[in-house]
Structure 1
Amino acid sequence: MIFWSSVIIILLFLLIFIISKHVTESRTPQNFPPGPRPLPFIGSLHMLDLKRPHKTFVELSKKYGSVFSIQLGMKKMVVLTGYETVKEALVNHGDTFGDRARVPLFDQIYKGLGNPFNTAVIMNASVANIIVAILLGHRYDYEDPTFLRLVNLISETLRLQGSPIATLYSIYPKLGFLPGSHKNIFENVKELHSFIKSIFIKHLKHLDENDQRSFIDVFLVKKEEEKANPNSYFHDDNLTSVVRNLFIAGTETTSTTLNWALLLMMKYPEIQEKVQKEIERVIGSSQPRIDHRKQMPYTDAVIHEIQRFADIVPMNLPRETTTDTYFKGYFLPKGTYIVPLLTSVLKDKSQFEKPEDFNPQHFLDSAGNFVKKDAFMPFSAGRRVCMGETLAKMELFLFFTSLLQKFIFRPPPGVTHFDLTPAVGTTTPPMPYLLCALPRS
């Protein structure tokens, strides 16, 4: 009996293998980009570093080239690597590669002096308050428990979205009934939605179309104007989605970059000192203004290099082809899942002399003038470039110069090693660290 049971199991696995292989091969169009041969059901999942998949993709590009395919589960996708390839797709063929890919996880969501301290919470809160002021028309006290809970929800959700379980959910959404961090994400989003909707109610009570004080006020007035239009985009569900996205995208990315900035300034005190000398020369004791930036090439280069080195969104957000297209000699059918790998652009050896090193000279010429680099794409590129790019650049310059104008950042006594390994998440913050902020005289 045991013998026949074993035989049946083996035959079933063999049948599954044959069917899966047939389905995979029949779905692969001719002249599709090359890639590793997938296994039944799991595809090439066994090869993937679930915590840092971009690292696996960079290694695969060395074997298969700048355009290659990979199958995760039953889903085929095409990965684009390197500056030239990503730029050609996102900028030169922006319409073709312009659709936002459907990701099951996201689809479901859319339904003291000298004492060492961690800057993550206060940095997140400071940046979040800028978005709060735009969206709500006022700022929160930094000790407000509601505000702190909001900031924590955003940070935790982005961290969980980069977890292996969340990645597996996006590959096998039908297994969503199993326990895992994806369920925590949905609970967090549910709580965030409740917070946002309670804000709508407060705004509706005091809404004055002649005195629109915030983004939500403007949206609600527009909603009232278009209430007779059944196809209007101005409805509560869209407002919830937009506000949520602005909270998340407008908070975590900038604060994460600033947390990298302070860590790198501690590790490279000579660079910190040069920035501070430029601040003294150009700004002095005045309050930093955005128009100071053009007079501060070294500081500008340092901020750009922080963004390049930190590489906080290495996988970019996935795209989808809008039509059948030929790209780099390969045929990509309409609806092909595309991963424009930003980490491969920001660390492209053909564009940056020493891409693995933190070196502000990447953005300076021999005379010390700031040099723009087309391969500087931390905000992506093309039709779906980050809508908050201008605001983020302003925030980074003003926060960074204000902090270095007032403080010298040093490691805690006895600390000589700085861990530059990024943590896991949709964005990649530095590992938690402590620092000392010494007031400058």
Structure 2
Amino acid sequence: MWVEVALLLLLLVILKQLLKKPEGLPPGRWGLPLFGYIPLTSKNLEEQLDDLHKQHGDVYLWRMGTQVLVFLHDYHMIKEAYNKPENLDRPDWLFFRFTENPALGVQSTNGIRWHNNRRFSLRQLRDLGMGKSKLVGAVQEQAQWLAKEMKKQAGKPAPIPHALSVAVSNVIWQMVGSRQFDITDPKLKEFQDINDEFFEGVTRIFIPNFFPWIKIILPGPIVKKLCKQDFVRRVKEKLIDYFKTVVVENRATIDRDNPRDLIDSYLVEMEERKEELEAPWHERDLAFLSMDLFFAGSNTTVDTLKFIFYYLAANPRVQAKMQAEIDRELAGVLATLEDRSRMPYTEAVIHEVLRMSSLTAIGLQHLVTKDIQLGGYNIPKGSILNAVAVSIHHDPRYWKDPHQFLPERWLDEEGRFVSKKEGFLPFSVGKRNCLGETLARMELFIFTTTVFQNLSFAAPPGKTINPSHDPDKPLFHVPISQDVFITLRE
């Protein structure tokens, strides 16, 4: 009997140690080994993170399955963490790798491949005009075409037209692959459908990374179906086949002394660096890089412009004030980069929409590659850092009346635009911030001024506009699809 009692006590001690959170870690949800903490609640992820923030402060953890996720709600802490070399990597998740091993391209890669591809992409995009006046004409052309297409639905309730995706995609695709879509091109519509389907089922894609042991207890076919692995692989190959075709076409017509675009420049550099072994340059990597730049350079800008249209339709006073500035400062001509300094209210509107919409609600995750200290806590190697941008963008420490749409908060007492504000990180921060930020800012300014020179937006008669994000799409804030009522301006 005493043996049984001793064994029971030993079992209880072992169980207690397994359930106990190690000393020095941030507060938060620890849960059970292998399972972590699985909440029984109807609240969505953002609501739960808000509760945890109120309970534990600016840094806390949540063990989900076998993954330790650390959430950060302090702007300065995020800047500190995301500038450290030990926090630069992406997690080895299917969502990032897209079934490649190792990851390719720039968005999800680590180490020397990420360093090479990011540095190369930044250099090429700048050479091709990102942030420079020589690209302005191309953006103006697409903005004028978009305004023309939008005029066709004036006077009747209708959704934001597909032409918006075409116009924005053409800017980045011209820089990357010297190509343009027209409004009837089925390929761009197919891309949109694939993107929507991928993100609707995105939570299931994370299952094998958070609960890797299911591969042991469940048959392979069931795991693949449950986690949508075949779907991810099929989507990847469909997308990569297209971008590989573009690479092959460019190779056949390239003038190595006069590269037309980023793909040409990569092919030239690939030939020059073919002896490198650590992270070899090859065409499949180029196809992934082209895909990364295409989607990163189009989806976020399209969604932000939709939010701009919705917020201004819902706030006619703001829209009228911005249009008055556009009319006064541009006097019927198209905007250029030099006009931004003379149009503080327009800049304020764009930045307030970026703050309110918070497209990447919890950012893209960073892997901790060695034990670190952050916020006075131990963060162990293998933890995953998350910057809760949506919380910071609505934090009263940084913003007065944070839940109100107030472009005036971006103006000083003299009415000048104030761009640098604590607590603002729509393009993330640190060494892995958005490499297309300069291009995005250029496009948002020129598209917004051109469209609102020609058109006004309102709710359809008898209805209201909801500028909130779609609650059914987790992780990223996507505008709700809805009708707007467009009218022509004199």
| Range of TM-score over shorter length | 0.7 to 0.9
Report how far residue 367 of structure 1 moved.
2.8
Report how far residue 40 of structure 1 moved.
4.8
Q: Higher mean Cα deviation, 286-295 or 418-427?
A: 418-427
Secondary structure, counterpart of 2:39 in structure 1: helix
Report how far residue 183 of structure 1 moved.
4.3
Aligned AA for 1:78?
V
Aligned 8 A contact 1:136 1:216 in 2:
yes
Q: Distance in 2 between matches of 1:401 and 1:428?
A: 24
Q: What does residue 136 of structure 1 align with?
A: 177
Aligned AA for 2:461?
P
Aligned AA for 1:104?
L
Report how far residue 205 of structure 1 moved.
1.4
Query: Do residues 123 (structure 1) and 164 (structure 2) align?
Result: yes
Alignment of 1:84-233 (within 5 A): 84-91=76-83, 94-110=84-100, 112-119=153-160, 121-161=162-202, 164-173=203-212, 174=214, 176-179=223-226, 181=228, 183-233=230-280
Match of 1:75 among 51, 67, 75: 67
Report how far residue 288 of structure 1 moved.
1.3
Aligned AA for 2:23?
Q
Q: What does residue 447 of structure 2 align with?
A: 399
Aligned AA for 2:288?
S
Q: Distance in 2 between matches of 1:267 and 1:16?
A: 61
Report how far residue 209 of structure 1 moved.
0.4
Aligned 8 A contact 2:459 2:465 in 1:
no
Aligned AA for 1:36?
R
Aligned 8 A contact 1:44 1:73 in 2:
yes
Q: Distance in 1 between matches of 2:16 and 2:286?
A: 44
Aligned 8 A contact 1:154 1:252 in 2:
no
In structure 2, relative to structure 1, the CA distance for the partners of 1:359 and 1:215 (3 Å cut) is: same
Secondary structure, counterpart of 1:69 in structure 2: strand
Secondary structure, counterpart of 1:351 in structure 2: coil
Q: Distance in 2 between matches of 1:16 and 1:47?
A: 28
In structure 2, relative to structure 1, the CA distance for the partners of 1:291 and 1:55 (3 Å cut) is: farther
Report how far residue 165 of structure 1 moved.
2.3
Secondary structure, counterpart of 1:262 in structure 2: helix
In structure 2, relative to structure 1, the CA distance for the partners of 1:74 and 1:218 (3 Å cut) is: same
In structure 2, relative to structure 1, the CA distance for the partners of 1:303 and 1:286 (3 Å cut) is: same
Q: What does residue 434 of structure 2 align with?
A: 386
In structure 2, relative to structure 1, the CA distance for the partners of 1:16 and 1:421 (3 Å cut) is: farther
In structure 2, relative to structure 1, the CA distance for the partners of 1:214 and 1:417 (3 Å cut) is: closer
Q: What does residue 30 of structure 1 align with?
A: 23
In structure 2, relative to structure 1, the CA distance for the partners of 1:410 and 1:31 (3 Å cut) is: same
Q: Distance in 2 between matches of 1:248 and 1:69?
A: 31
Aligned 8 A contact 2:159 2:482 in 1:
yes
Query: Do residues 58 (structure 1) and 50 (structure 2) align?
Result: yes
In structure 2, relative to structure 1, the CA distance for the partners of 1:29 and 1:235 (3 Å cut) is: farther
Match of 2:388 among 341, 348, 353: 341
Q: What does residue 373 of structure 1 align with?
A: 421
Q: Distance in 2 between matches of 1:143 and 1:307?
A: 30
Which aligned segments of 4 or more residues in structure 1 are displaced greater than 6 angstroms? 15-21
Q: How many residues align?
A: 420
Q: What does residue 432 of structure 1 align with?
A: 481
Q: What does residue 11 of structure 1 align with?
A: none
Q: Distance in 2 between matches of 1:439 and 1:234?
A: 50
Aligned AA for 1:439?
L
Query: Do residues 45 (structure 1) and 38 (structure 2) align?
Result: yes
Secondary structure, counterpart of 1:379 in structure 2: coil
Report how far residue 107 of structure 1 moved.
2.4
In structure 2, relative to structure 1, the CA distance for the partners of 1:253 and 1:17 (3 Å cut) is: farther
Aligned 8 A contact 1:42 1:72 in 2:
yes
In structure 2, relative to structure 1, the CA distance for the partners of 1:406 and 1:308 (3 Å cut) is: same
Q: Distance in 2 between matches of 1:20 and 1:318?
A: 31
Aligned 8 A contact 1:312 1:428 in 2:
yes
In structure 2, relative to structure 1, the CA distance for the partners of 1:388 and 1:48 (3 Å cut) is: farther
Secondary structure, counterpart of 1:299 in structure 2: helix
Q: TM-score, normalised by structure 1?
A: 0.88
Aligned AA for 2:182?
D
Query: Do residues 237 (structure 1) and 284 (structure 2) align?
Result: yes
Secondary structure, counterpart of 1:117 in structure 2: strand
Unaligned residue ranges in structure 1 (runs of 5+): 1-14
Q: Distance in 1 between matches of 2:367 and 2:93?
A: 11
Secondary structure, counterpart of 1:382 in structure 2: coil
Secondary structure, counterpart of 2:431 in structure 1: helix
Aligned 8 A contact 2:367 2:382 in 1:
yes
Report how far residue 127 of structure 1 moved.
1.3
Alignment of 1:239-254 (within 5 A): 239-254=286-301
Aligned 8 A contact 1:321 1:337 in 2:
yes
Q: What does residue 255 of structure 1 align with?
A: 302
In structure 2, relative to structure 1, the CA distance for the partners of 1:284 and 1:377 (3 Å cut) is: same
Q: Distance in 2 between matches of 1:289 and 1:430?
A: 28
Aligned 8 A contact 1:142 1:148 in 2:
no
| Amino-acid identity (%) | 28
Secondary structure, counterpart of 1:78 in structure 2: strand
Aligned 8 A contact 1:125 1:151 in 2:
no
Deviations 1:98-150 (A, max 9, x none): 22223233224435231222226332222111121011112121211223323
Q: TM-score, normalised by structure 2?
A: 0.79
Alignment of 1:263-302 (within 5 A): 263-302=310-349
Report how far residue 416 of structure 1 moved.
2.9
In structure 2, relative to structure 1, the CA distance for the partners of 1:387 and 1:56 (3 Å cut) is: same
